[in-house]
Structure 1
Amino acid sequence: MNPASHPRPTELTVHGASRVLEVAFDDGARFRIPFELLRVYSPSAEVQGHGPGQAVLQTGKRDVTIVALEPVGHYAMQPTFSDGHDSGLYTWEYLYFLGSRQDELWAEYERRLAEAGLDRDAPMPAKGAGGCGRH
């Protein structure tokens, strides 16, 4: 699909108190994406891994906030989260995906947590040898 045909954001609003990013798109869609969802589904290599099956399950992100939000060209944004994570580039297409599939993504996250015997508030394990990221 031609990237020009993807919906583009017309408005980005960081709601600090409710910890949601509100994004309006030029096709009329408007999403309120919780910071926690943005953080646990960060598109960064340190969260997604460098290949299939290498994703790192994120925990303890319920209270994470966005402390800075930088534009990246005309195609993405790069948030800095309160836990220091700042390496995810969120394209407009990825934000639309996160916003439009929130229910499915939350269910998938909860399933992965249950399979790992964890809950959302479990602290992240200490970094082991061979890790590729800072957070």
Structure 2
Amino acid sequence: MSKKTSLLERATDAAETAREAATEFVDSTARPALHDAAHRAQAKAVPLVAAGATLAAEKAAHAKEFADSKAAELTGRKKKKRSKMKAFLMLSLLAAVVGAVARKLTSKSDWVSYAPTGTSAATPRASANGMPEEDPAETFRRDVIDPDAR
């Protein structure tokens, strides 16, 4: 049995030595080489991808122009181009409207008028029964706003 044990021990030692050598090779040589290769591939791929995207955008723009021209040719209409001045004027008009609305909404007004401008609180109206009728705004002011002023 000592022969088998020694053979098993030698095989285990050889396997352990091989594993250590392989681990050292992977850590010191293979992994850095793969890492470096990946960086080089990435450095080469990024400009190629960017160039491909630019080329695809140019091709798409040409295809759109061609499709627009063919559509105009078949329908007999030309595509109207919006002038820069018209776009500027429309944008300015929109900004002015938004500014006016914002000013109107944020302005602080001390406007408080409870009586209609066409009637006077001093002149009582006559009702159907002949009795003088009170102004509704004056009644509201007297009863609701300042009830202690009576």
The TM-score, its normalising length taken from structure 2, stands at 0.16
Which structure: greater strand fraction? 1
* Max Rg structure: 2
Quick one: higher RCO (CA 8 Å, sep 6+), 1 or 2?
1
